[in-house]
Homo-oligomer: A and B are copies of this chain.
Amino acid sequence: MSHGLPTQPAASFVRRRRALGARLNGPALLFSGVARPRNYPANVYPFRPGSHFLYLTGAWLENAAVLVDGERDVLFVPAEDPEDVVWHGPSPGWDELQAATGVAEVRDIAELGQAFGGAGERIATIPAVDARTRFSQGRLLDRSWAEPGAAVELGERDAALADALVALRSVHDDAAIEMLRGAAEATVAAHRAGMAATRPGLREAHVRAAMEASLAARDMGTSYGSIVTVHGEILHSRGYGNPIAAGDLLLADVGASNGGWAGDVTRTWPVSGKFSPTQRALYDLVLAAQVAAIDRVKPGARYRDIHLAAGRVIARGLVDEGILKGDPDNLVERGAHALFFVHGLGHLLGLDVHDMEDLGDRAGYGPGRTRSTQFGLAFLRLDRDLEPGMAVTIEPGFYQIPALLEPGSKLSAPFDSDGTLNRDALAKFADVRGIRIEDDVLVTPGGNEVLTAALAKQAADVEALVGGC
């Protein structure tokens, strides 16, 4: 997908706009944004429309906006420039756009000022992510958003729009689920391609290339920057330059973007095709935590409780291995598991891989809930009570992060001094730097469905795929 008409029926978008309108007291205007420049203005990164706009129109259009206003939805688009036809070929006509998005009217975006000039305060909006759009949007609608990238405090009207979008987008409709399924399927294929392409002596870049090529061949991109690394303990690893050797585990966190909808899967596999006993032991532990967590995904479950349950499985396993000492429940209360399982269990998944993170914690944390300040829990992106139609990731991990574990560090010192942490036992697991196992899970009325269930995750099944072609 790169440009043009929605790939799903107009009725889906009409329904979403009506549902949004019903939750609002006035009109709302959402912007698609413009492509971001790479090294000079004409050399741009691949464009993707703002997620709120894409959700409400399905249209892959630059410099467009949609007005949601009762029955009078209007799609604003740039007038076709005759020069543009020469360089870019024909664009969809306004009739086509109107039919495909179901809006009442298509208008020239140059008329926005005329349509709303002076009355901007009455129009609810969400700041666009790109600076150019945000600037002109702020000027049009009388918001003080002049400084690019600066944090924005939403006013009352915009906050109500944000809440309405969160309510809608966090519970996926059938059209959304269809797109998420497509993203999941492509993501699974990419991971299989990565496992198959793995061979000792290559570099991380080779495996990443195979995974992203699998997506590109379907005309899809990634929904976030891929992590493909033998240093899984570097959680936001940058670059793919390391050689991959027989004793290494390779961690790959790669997800498709299917018309903007995200897949988000992590697998960790042995470069040699065979886990060492120590690698296998901790892999199975992370897997057990993931399975236990997925078992708890159902309507009414509080996500934070699932996170803590996964933490208890990790803690219990580390006690069994002699790495931690103590009662697993108590270890989790004290945050000892977070020495190794550092991040949150997962997040909402939708048009954004961390869905609606442009709205801060508004989507991930329900009213009256805020982030903990405890190390570990502070990184939990989601603490909702789950509802059917929500999609979440479940992604526990085990990492040995030098900056956290070095003797005397603020985090590990208390667990050293009271004997909780047994460094001799830990030393035996030196060949495990980082493991994460992540799947995409849809909450269903009866429990859940793992959208990425087709991808191997039992250790033996993973081993069978590595170096396969």
Residues in A lying within 8 Å of B, measured CB to CB: 1-4, 34, 36-46, 48, 50-51, 82, 85-90, 129-132, 134-135, 146-149, 203, 205-206, 208-210, 212-219, 224-225, 231, 233-241, 342, 351-354, 356-358, 401, 403-404
Q: Which residues of B contact A404 (CB under 8 A)?
A: 86
> Is there an interface contact between B212 and A216, defined as CB atoms closer than 8 Å?
yes
Q: Which residues of B contact A231 (CB under 8 A)?
A: 89
Residue in B38, B209, B237 whose CB lies within 8 Å of A48 = B38
Known: A89-B231, A205-B217. A39 touches B148 (CB 8 A): no
Given contacts A41-B129, A88-B237, 6 further A-B contacts (CB under 8 A): A42-B354, A45-B45, A131-B149, A209-B214, A210-B213, A219-B240
> Is there an interface contact between B205 and A219, defined as CB atoms closer than 8 Å?
yes
Q: Which residues of B contact A134 (CB under 8 A)?
A: 148
CB distance from A361 to the nearest CB of B (A): 12
Q: Which residues of B contact A88 (CB under 8 A)?
A: 234-238
For A212, give the chain B residue with the smallest CB separation.
B216
Q: Which residues of B contact A132 (CB under 8 A)?
A: 131, 148-149
> Is there an interface contact between A50 and B39, defined as CB atoms closer than 8 Å?
yes
A sample of 11 cross-chain residue pairs with beta-carbon separation below 8 angstroms, ordered by A number, consists of A2-B238, A4-B239, A36-B45, A40-B354, A40-B357, A40-B358, A86-B404, A87-B236, A135-B147, A203-B219, A205-B217
> Is there an interface contact between A342 and B86, defined as CB atoms closer than 8 Å?
yes
Query: In the bound complex, how far is the Cα of B128 from the Cα of A41, in angstroms?
Result: 11
Known: A87-B235, A132-B148. A44 touches B225 (CB 8 A): yes
Question: Which of A38, A234, A238, A352 is packed against the most chain B CB atoms within 10 Å?
Answer: A38
Query: In the bound complex, how far is the Cα of B34 from the Cα of A321, in angstroms?
Result: 44
> Is there an interface contact between B209 and A216, defined as CB atoms closer than 8 Å?
yes
Residue in B51, B210, B214, B217 whose CB lies within 8 Å of A39 = B51
Query: In the bound complex, how far is the Cα of B236 from the Cα of A416, in angstroms?
Result: 61
Query: In the bound complex, how far is the Cα of B359 from the Cα of A41, in angstroms?
Result: 10
> Is there an interface contact between B401 and A238, defined as CB atoms closer than 8 Å?
no
